């Protein structure tokens, strides 16, 4: 059983640029959630995808968008990058019918915006 | 708005000491999960507690869910340097299927 993988591990961008982060879910999982973790903070929910549809969204602007593919892998896209977007971006996979919503995280992508 | 409060925020102890960290929240969650996160890594799920008053043990770690399901604690016996990390609690049951995290307790265990 393979765990959650994310790419790239690190990324440096400048303000105004666009970025795409990728996530492969754990085998058997059909739900992917994305979180942003700023330094010294707990993860903050961005959005969740279930069966290729957005299933819920946190308090993030529309320039944060995503996709889920038929194999349940997912992308997070951020347009018009701002300095405050610098953070660790975490992807978590789960099974949509899991009673307790246990989520399993990937290693994250460290994004630095200069 | 942070619904989960974790305390203490930082904890530095010597190897062999015992410690307890706390998670309190203003809402009732359907379940509570504890994670450990090492620098530059994603959180790793340690345990899920569901029933009020529930106690779960994982080797030297003991997790407790409050009777009213509005608080939880993690107790570590005879801490080791390998226990060093950020301990996060997360409530499940958000309306959008998300987990709601606290800021975490950063634990440092010195040899």
B43 in Cβ contact with A90 (< 8 Å): yes
3-state DSSP assignment of residue A85: helix
* pLDDT score of A34: 97
Give Cβ neighbours of residue A46 (< 8 Å, ≥ 6 apart).
Answer: A33, A34, A35, A36, A57, A58, A60, A64, A66, A76
The answer to whether A18 touches B60, Cβ cutoff 8 Å, is no
The DSSP secondary structure of B52-91, one letter per residue, reads TT-EEEETTEEEEE-TTSSEEEEEESS--GGG-EEEEEEE
Q: Which of residues 24-83 of B touch A (CB under 8 A)?
A: 30-31, 33, 35, 40-45, 48, 50
The answer to whether the CB of A16 falls within 8 A of the CB of A32 is: no
Please indicate whether, in this complex, the C-beta atoms of A105 and B101 are within 8 angstroms of each other: no
By the 8 A CB rule, do A92 and A107 touch? no
Give B60-102 pLDDT, tens digit per residue: 999 999 888 889 999 999 999 999 999 999 988 666 678 999 9
Q: Splitting chain A (114 residues) into consecutive groups of 10 residues, what average pLDDT does each group show? A: 90 98 93 94 94 91 96 96 97 80 93 98
- CB nearest B98 (choices: A48, A102, A104): A48
Q: Is the dihedral of CA A75, B91, B5, B88 positive or negative?
A: negative
| A102 → closest Cβ in B33, B96, B103 | B33
Yes or no: say if A75 and A65 are a contact pair by the CB < 8 Å rule: no
Residue corresponding to tokens 């994603």: B42
pLDDT per residue as tens digits for the range B35-65 = 999 988 999 999 999 888 999 999 999 999 9
What is the structure's pLDDT at B45?
95
């Amino acid at each position: 059983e393979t765990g959650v993988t994310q790419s790239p591990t690190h990324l440096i961008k400048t303000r105004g640029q666009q970025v795409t982060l990728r996530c492969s879910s754990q085998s058997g999982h059909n739900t992917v959630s994305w979180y942003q973790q700023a330094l010294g903070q707990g993860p903050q929910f961005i959005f969740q995808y279930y069966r290729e549809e957005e299933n819920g969204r946190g308090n993030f602007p529309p320039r944060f968008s995503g996709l889920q593919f038929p194999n349940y892998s997912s992308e997070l896209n951020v347009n018009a990058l701002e300095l405050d977007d610098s953070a660790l971006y975490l992807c978590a996979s789960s099974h949509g019918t899991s009673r307790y919503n246990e989520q399993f995280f990937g290693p994250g992508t460290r994004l630095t915006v200069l | 708005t942070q619904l989960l409060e974790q305390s203490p925020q930082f904890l530095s102890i010597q190897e062999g000491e015992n410690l307890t960290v706390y998670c309190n929240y203003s809402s009732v969650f359907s379940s509570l999960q504890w994670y450990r996160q090492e620098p530059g890594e994603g959180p790793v799920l340690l345990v899920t507690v569901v029933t009020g008053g529930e106690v779960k043990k994982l080797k030297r770690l003991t997790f407790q869910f409050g009777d009213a399901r509005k608080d939880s604690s993690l107790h570590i016996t005879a801490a080791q340097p390998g226990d060093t990390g950020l301990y996060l609690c997360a409530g499940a049951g958000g309306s959008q299927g998300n987990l709601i995290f606290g800021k975490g307790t950063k634990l440092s265990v010195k040899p």
